[in-house]
Amino acid sequence: MDLPELAPYRTMRRQTPHRREGIFVAEGPKVVERMLASSFGVSSLLITENWLDSLKPFLERRPEDIPVYVAPKALLNEMTGYHLFQGVLAIGRIPEPVPLEDILRKASEPFLLVAAEELASAENMGVLVRNCAAFGVQALIAGETCVSPFLRRAVRNSMGAIFKLPIIESSRLAETLRDLTRQGIECVAAHPHAEQTLLPDSDLTRSCCIVLGSEGYGLSAEVLEQCNRAVAIPMANDIDSLNVGNAGAVFLYEIFRQRRTKEAKQER
């Protein structure tokens, strides 16, 4: 348990050292399998013996040798300080950041991006990542006030979708949105507390970036100022907001629907 190689598992509650080292924790068999099947670097696995056979094919397909540490679940719980339901952990390496310009250069138009501000919940961030990957978002821009998409609970809640989605961690979200506007990408605030139009009445078939804020306060004035327009989801019973993961799913499905309908019409 005192091996230096196991230090990242012993410090799972302390995120600062992990960020400094450029590593993150993946938890659960599906998430770990998807990381092993991705291009992400993997430092090691820590598992109970019953997972060896099912993970072996994924390990054999990797180009590098990955150390696998095996222990009883009680020992894993003691080492990590958590009750591990399934007994599968891995240490992944955060990839080098890719400039947004490079991502857009390789992507097809119309572009679809999502930006987030002040997301404090790792679970919500993970759900948003999963939604973005499901609906073909080309990059998720996490603002400086957001939790990292590479937190353990965020990676877990993404169900491994984070291995398919380019992540941009912006140090100045307002400036990033300003740059997108200069490039002809419309920044659309998902915001119910401003002059806005309703989602079904909004044309979102052109290149755009959907900007999502916290459930409690929405978007800051600085970020809202950089958005070209605000759009709201119509709701009943005096409810004015949804969980950010749910709101993101509604927006992205509507964009998917609009663009698919437009493509179908153009093919006729």
pLDDT in tens, 183-203: 999 999 998 766 778 999 999
Mean pLDDT for 17-40 is 95
> Are 253 and 233 spatial neighbours (Cβ–Cβ below 8 Å)?
no
Q: Which among 69, 93, 117 is the end of a domain? A: 93
For residues 88 and 216, membership in a common domain is answered with no
Average pLDDT score, the chain: 93
Q: Is the pLDDT of residue 211 over 70?
A: yes
CATH of the domain at 45: 3.30.1330.30
Q: Which among 73, 93, 113 is the end of a domain? A: 93
pLDDT at 239: 74
For residues 212 and 174, membership in a common domain is answered with yes
Percent of the chain with pLDDT over 90: 79
Q: Is the pLDDT of residue 268 over 80?
A: no
CATH of the domain at 165: 3.40.1280.10
Q: Which among 93, 110, 138 is the end of a domain? A: 93
For residues 142 and 77, membership in a common domain is answered with no
Q: Is the pLDDT of residue 212 over 80?
A: yes
For residues 130 and 38, membership in a common domain is answered with no
For residues 70 and 188, membership in a common domain is answered with no
For residues 43 and 157, membership in a common domain is answered with no
For 87-239, strand residue ranges (E) read 88-93, 112-116, 139-142, 167-169, 186-190, 197-198, 208-212, 229-232
Read off the pLDDT band of 257 (50, 70, 90).
very high
For residues 158 and 46, membership in a common domain is answered with no
pTM, full prediction: 0.93
For residues 41 and 108, membership in a common domain is answered with no
> Are 92 and 26 spatial neighbours (Cβ–Cβ below 8 Å)?
yes
pLDDT, tens digit (0-9, with 9 covering 90-100), for 230-248: 999 988 887 777 889 999 9
For residues 137 and 108, membership in a common domain is answered with yes
pLDDT, tens digit (0-9, with 9 covering 90-100), for 72-110: 989 888 888 877 778 999 999 999 999 999 999 999 999
Q: How many domains does the chain have?
A: 2
pLDDT at 84: 76
Burial of 30-58, coded b for 16+ CB within 10 Å and e otherwise, reads ebbbbbbeeebbbebbbbbeebeeebeeb
- Structural domain boundaries, residue 227: 100-267
For residues 56 and 153, membership in a common domain is answered with no
pLDDT at 117: 97
For residues 75 and 158, membership in a common domain is answered with no
